[in-house]
Chain A
Amino acid sequence: MFAQRTTTPSEARSGASYRLPPTVTEAVVTVPRSRRPRPRGNRSRLSRIAGLAWVLPALVVLGVFVYLPLVQNFVFSTQESDIYTGTQQFVGLANYEKLLGDPIFWSAFGNNVLYAVLSIVFQVGGALILAAMIESLRSSRWRKALRAIYFIPSAISLTVAGLLFYFIYEPNLGLLNHLLSTVGLGGLAQPWLGQESTAMVSIIAMSQWQGFGYCTLLFAVAIQRIPSELYEAASLDGIGSVGRFFHITVPLVREMTGLMMIITISGAFQVFNEVMVMTSGGPNNSTQVLASWLYRSGFVRNDFGYAAAIATVLFIVTMIVALAQLWYTRRRRVEF
Chain B
Amino acid sequence: MNRIGFVGAIARVFVWSFLLGLVLVVLYPLLWMVLNGFKTNAELFGNPFALPLQFGWQNYVDAWNRGVSDYLTASVLVTITSTITTVFISAWAAYGLTRVRMPFGRTISGIILGGLMLAPAVALVPLVRMFQAMGLYNTFWALLILYTAFRIPFTTFLIRSYMIDLPREVDEAAEVDGASRWTAFWLIILPMCRPIIISTILLHVLFAWNEYLFAMVFTSGTTIQTLPVGLTSLMSKHGTDYPVVFAGMVVAALPVIVLFFVSQRHFVKGLAEGMGK
A, B assembled together: yes
Give me the interface of A with B, judged by CB distance under 8 Å.
17-18, 20-21, 24, 27-28, 31, 35-37, 39, 44, 47-49, 51-55, 57-59, 61-70, 72-73, 76, 83, 130, 133-138, 146, 148-153, 155-160, 163-165, 167-168, 172-175, 178, 182, 209, 213-214, 217-218, 221, 228, 231-232, 235, 240-241, 244, 256, 259-260, 263, 266, 269-270, 272-273, 276-277, 290-291, 294-295, 298-299, 304, 307-308, 311-312, 314-315, 318-319, 322-323, 325-326, 329
Partner of A241, one of B11, B124, B153: B11
Of chain B, the residue at the smallest CB distance from A71 is: B126
Q: A59-B112, A160-B252 are in contact. Are A18 and B166 (CB under 8 A)?
A: yes
B166-A298 in contact (CB<8A): no
Q: Given contacts A54-B95, A163-B235, A311-B122, list 17 more A-B pairs with CB under 8 A.
A: A55-B112, A59-B111, A62-B152, A72-B129, A73-B126, A137-B19, A155-B256, A157-B209, A173-B48, A175-B49, A217-B271, A277-B212, A298-B125, A311-B125, A319-B117, A325-B117, A329-B277
Of chain B, the residue at the smallest CB distance from A58 is: B93
A213-B26 in contact (CB<8A): yes
Chain A residue numbers with a CB within 8 Å of B128 are 298-299
Q: A28-B170, A158-B212, A232-B1 are in contact. Are A152 and B26 (CB under 8 A)?
A: yes
CB distance from B64 to the nearest CB of A (A): 17
**B44 beta carbon closer than 8 Å to chain A:** yes
Chain A residue numbers with a CB within 8 Å of B6 are 235
A55-B96 in contact (CB<8A): yes
Q: 9 A-B Cβ contacts within 8 A?
A: A18-B166, A21-B191, A28-B173, A47-B101, A48-B103, A150-B26, A155-B256, A157-B253, A295-B124
Q: A218-B272, A270-B121 are in contact. Are A55 and B242 (CB under 8 A)?
A: no
A58-B89 in contact (CB<8A): yes
B92-A66 in contact (CB<8A): no
Of chain B, the residue at the smallest CB distance from A175 is: B48
Chain A residue numbers with a CB within 8 Å of B260 are 148, 151-152, 155
Q: A62-B149, A318-B119 are in contact. Are A55 and B210 (CB under 8 A)?
A: no
* Complex Cα spacing A270 to B212, Å: 12
Chain A residue numbers with a CB within 8 Å of B112 are 55, 58-59, 62
Of chain B, the residue at the smallest CB distance from A318 is: B119
Q: A70-B118, A156-B257 are in contact. Are A148 and B2 (CB under 8 A)?
A: no
Majority secondary structure, B binding face: helix
CB distance from A7 to the nearest CB of B (A): 16
**B55 beta carbon closer than 8 Å to chain A:** no
* Complex Cα spacing A319 to B118, Å: 7
Interface-central residue, B111, B121, B127, by most chain A CB under 10 Å: B121
Partner of A61, one of B89, B122, B195, B261: B89
CB distance from B47 to the nearest CB of A (A): 8
B245-A163 in contact (CB<8A): yes
- Contact flags (1/0) for B166-182 with A, using CB distance below 8 Å? 11011011111100000
Of chain B, the residue at the smallest CB distance from A266 is: B119
CB distance from B265 to the nearest CB of A (A): 10
Chain A residue numbers with a CB within 8 Å of B156 are 58
Chain A residue numbers with a CB within 8 Å of B122 are 70, 73, 311-312, 314-315, 318
Chain B residue numbers with a CB within 8 Å of A256 are 275
B173-A24 in contact (CB<8A): yes
B249-A160 in contact (CB<8A): yes
Give me the interface of B with A, judged by CB distance under 8 Å.
1-7, 11, 15, 18-19, 22-23, 25-27, 29-30, 32-33, 36, 44-45, 47-49, 89-90, 92-93, 95-97, 100-103, 108, 111-112, 115-130, 145-146, 148-150, 152-153, 156, 165-167, 169-170, 172-177, 188, 191-192, 195, 206, 209-210, 212-213, 216-217, 227-229, 231-232, 235, 242, 245-246, 249, 252-253, 256-257, 259-261, 264, 268, 271-272, 275, 277
* Complex Cα spacing A255 to B3, Å: 21
* Complex Cα spacing A188 to B108, Å: 57
B15-A54 in contact (CB<8A): no
A291-B166 in contact (CB<8A): no
Q: A18-B166, A66-B150, A152-B260 are in contact. Are A31 and B176 (CB under 8 A)?
A: yes
A69-B101 in contact (CB<8A): no
B26-A58 in contact (CB<8A): no
* Complex Cα spacing A245 to B275, Å: 22
B103-A49 in contact (CB<8A): yes
CB distance from B187 to the nearest CB of A (A): 10
B96-A51 in contact (CB<8A): yes
B3-A134 in contact (CB<8A): no
Of chain A, the residue at the smallest CB distance from B148 is: A61
Q: A58-B93, A276-B212 are in contact. Are A221 and B268 (CB under 8 A)?
A: yes
